[in-house]
């Protein structure tokens, strides 16, 4: 059974994702890869350090740097 509160949270998350995805439309490949890497690195850092702020920020920085470099490479 879906509660009204849960439905509202789901709607908010889906709406936020739609707004964020359209914001990436004008980015270069390096910029979009850096953003994706920072998000993935932040999540990984948070999980690996048990929710530590330093781990989350460190993971986001490392992931952003790796994503940026991956976007610069010619394939």
Confidence (pLDDT) at 6: 67
Q: If you average pLDDT over every residue of the chain, what do you get?
A: 80
Degrees to nearest 5, angle at CA 57 with 39 and 65: 60
Average pLDDT over residues 44-63: 88
Cβ neighbours of 48 (radius 10 Å): 13
Q: pTM value?
A: 0.64
């Amino acid at each position: 059974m879906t509660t009204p509160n849960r439905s509202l949270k789901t709607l908010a998350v889906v709406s936020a994702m739609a707004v964020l995805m359209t914001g990436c439309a004008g980015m270069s490949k390096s910029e979009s890869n850096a953003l994706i890497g920072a998000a993935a690195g932040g999540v990984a850092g948070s999980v690996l350090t048990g929710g530590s702020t330093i781990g989350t920020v460190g993971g986001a920085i490392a992931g952003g740097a790796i994503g940026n470099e991956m976007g610069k490479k010619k394939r």
